[in-house]
Amino acid sequence: MHRMAGAEDPGRALARIIAEMHLQVREAKRQACVAIADEHVLRRHVERYRAEAASWEQRAVLAVRAGDDDLARAALVRKGEADELATTYEAQWIDQKRSVDMLRSALRALDERIHEASRQRALLQARMNRAYAQHTIAATLAHLQGASPWAPLERMEDRVVQLEAEVDAAVDLYGGADLSLEAQFAALEARTRIDDDLAALKRRLHATAPKKALPPGM
């Protein structure tokens, strides 16, 4: 299907935009994978040091029950270090999780934009196809209106009139009685040939003309 002269192709431009958006999605997903992996690592660190702090607390309890305050103090020191690390990693994990959530939201929004752009492209292509079809029909109608199917018949009738005028002129010039036998036969042959051509053209036009429906009962 050819484009109309001077018309842009918005469908092709939209396809290029969609392709660029797909590239952006792939890059964003790559970055999201890295960010999500970092978030998982930070969360495991938090869980690890929280569990470690709980373990040192249980050991301190055992030491107190055993009457060993020095051992209990040492366990509580280790518990405090584990709690501090857990708190530090938890703050980092919260920030990373917030970033990951924002990145996931951005990816969903970009996917929706791509889906909408693809839908608009399909609608736009359908509108373009309809416009091209209407343009073709209009051009065909204009051509048919400019070239009448009766033009050959009109030209044939003009030739008949011209030949008849030439024969009449010869008769007026030489007189009907003085017109040579050859000239009379030449005129007769000319009229016969033109009449045959005219009859053949009328038959062709009649054969291609739409058939009228016959009245009921005919």
Q: Determine how many CB atoms are found less than 10 A away from the CB of residue 53.
A: 20
49 vs 55: CA distance, rounded Å:
10
Query: Do 29 and 135 share a structural domain?
Result: yes
Which of the four pLDDT bands, split at 50, 70 and 90, describes residue 135? confident
Q: How far apart are the first and last CA of the chain?
A: 47
Q: Which domain holds residue 141?
A: 10-146
Between 107 and 74, the more confident residue is 74
Q: Give the pair of three-digit tokens for residue 143.
A: 């051509």
What's the confidence (pLDDT) of residue 89?
Answer: 94
Q: Is residue 216 part of a domain?
A: no
Show which of 146, 178, 193 is a domain's final residue: 146
Residue 4 lies in a domain: no
**Average pLDDT of the chain, as a whole number:** 76
pLDDT in tens, 37-55: 999 999 999 999 999 999 9
pTM of the model: 0.47
> In this predicted structure, what is the pLDDT of residue 186?
66
For residue 63, pLDDT over 70 is answered with: yes
Q: What is the pLDDT of residue 75?
A: 93
Q: Residue for token digits 């609608």? A: 123
pLDDT 10s digits, 1-31: 444 444 556 667 777 777 888 888 888 888 8
Distance (Å, whole) CA 2 – CA 129: 10
Same domain assignment for residues 92 and 158: no
Q: Is residue 3 part of a domain?
A: no
**What is the average per-residue pLDDT within 119-146?**
72
Number of domains making up the chain:
2
Does one domain contain both 120 and 158? Answer: no
Q: What's the pLDDT score for residue 88?
A: 95
| In-domain check, residue 5 | no
Q: Do 27 and 125 fall within a single domain?
A: yes
The answer to whether residue 83 sits within a structural domain is: yes
Read off the pLDDT of each residue in 202-217 and give the average, rounded to a whole number.
61
Structure-token pair, residue 178 = 């003085």
Report how far residue 118's alpha carbon sits from residue 112's, in angstroms, rounded to the nearest whole number.
Answer: 10
Q: Are residues 39 and 130 in the same domain?
A: yes
Is 62 in the same domain as 102? yes
Tokens of 15: 């396809």
Q: Is residue 214 part of a domain?
A: no
